[in-house]
Amino acid sequence: MDGRTSRTAAGLTSAPRPGLRVAQLIETDGPGGAERVVVHLARALQEGGGQSVVVLPPNGEGWIEAELEGSGVVIDRFHLDRPLSPACAQALAECFARHRVDVAHSHEFSMAVYGAWGARRAGVPHVITMHGGRYYADRIRRRIALGAAVRASARTVAVSSGLASHLRRDLWLSSSRVLMIPNGVPYAAPAHVTLRDELHLGPDDRLMLAIGNLYPVKGHRHLIDAFSLVAHRHPTLHCAIGGRGHLDADLAALARDRGLATRVHLLGLRSDVPAILGAADLFVQPSLSEGLPLALLEAMQAGRPIVATSVGEMPVALGFGDAGVLVEPGSPGALAAAIDSLLNDPMRAETLGTRAAERARAEYGLPRMAARYLGMYSDL
């Protein structure tokens, strides 16, 4: 990792203690980045001879449970019916006792607060991971609550150096209170690539791809605007966006307004990410804010040429421009120029994709991330 990153959890790479029992807590269970990390960690501990318990909301989407089906991971539920709920904390403490949990690991704000509270009552060590959102930052009560949770926890982890800095500053923490463990993804070669056929693309058509839930922070509007600026220069270029969210109709309308209705393709939620990456000529991550998105790491693993905004940990992941083109966030013009430059220089694009794959496999593989967390659990 580049020397400019924050302090990492170096040394936390030992194998998990046999029989180690860890609870993973998360308030949402759709197919997002934090949820996927929960799935990866639960499986890794299970495969390493431990026991994972994943604690989920009672009326969620069911995605995590479906992903973990047949893995041996135990699913339990929490109930949070109001913003301040001692009953929820007590129920979590009882959950930890019932499953004989050795370590509780909470993800994101709400579970960080209630997981720390419940773990304290149960007398078990508690770990927090913050994945990118600063939901807590705009209200002093949330800052106080999260600060108290961090101080009551054995470890607090941020997935990016920028987020670690925000946590230290927002919550008045010392540098030693927040570790940085980058996300990791498994390498998976695509078994069967069908996306180009689905979109009726010919051999001369070119495809740029973005993957991310359809929320404003992901910057897809800026990507479509950028596409409109280069569409006349690249008449065979298409844009596909994989993900779901409340902006799907707005993005489709924007594409129509820009005259790109037949060239912008909203794919919805896809489970075949390696395959759709394998179909792409270019990957674009136009986010306005990020921690370290798994979609970027998967695109790196796949060796795609990448254009990404310079936010969160993405500049570090891309070697500050050595393994991808970085642009300012919120600028369709900057995105358009970067897309145009890579489409016009295939050799440079190929070189950047090769470097991205090398960095991903060296620094952002799933085994590296899992080993750091599993070692942390054992140390606690």
The predicted-structure confidence for 317-375, as pLDDT tens digits, reads as follows 999 999 999 999 999 999 999 999 999 999 999 999 999 999 999 999 999 999 999 99
User: Helix, strand, coil % (nearest 5) of the chain?
Assistant: 45, 15, 40
The predicted-structure confidence for 203-256, as pLDDT tens digits, reads as follows 999 999 999 999 999 999 999 999 999 999 999 999 999 999 999 999 999 999
The predicted-structure confidence for 258-288, as pLDDT tens digits, reads as follows 999 999 999 999 989 999 999 999 999 999 9
- In this model, does residue 1 exceed pLDDT 50? no
The predicted-structure confidence for 98-152, as pLDDT tens digits, reads as follows 999 999 999 999 999 999 999 999 999 999 999 976 777 778 999 999 999 999 9
The predicted-structure confidence for 301-314, as pLDDT tens digits, reads as follows 999 999 999 998 99
| 8 Å CB contact between 166 and 185 | no
Structure-derived torsion over alpha carbons of residues 309, 310, 313, 318, reported in degrees to the nearest 10: 80
- Rounded CA-CA distance 42/114 in Å is 20
Domains of the chain with bracketed CATH = 21-184+365-379 (3.40.50.2000), 195-363 (3.40.50.2000)
- DSSP secondary structure, 273-327, as one string: HHHHHHT-SEEEE--SS-S--HHHHHHHHTT--EEEES-TTHHHHTGGGTSSEEE
Q: Specify the pLDDT at position 157.
A: 97
Q: Specify the pLDDT at position 5.
A: 35
- Rounded CA-CA distance 111/146 in Å is 10
- In this model, does residue 51 exceed pLDDT 70? yes
Look up residue 21 and give its amino acid: R
Work out the percent of the chain whose per-residue pLDDT is above 70.
95
Token pair listed for 180: 């940085």
- Rounded CA-CA distance 272/302 in Å is 13
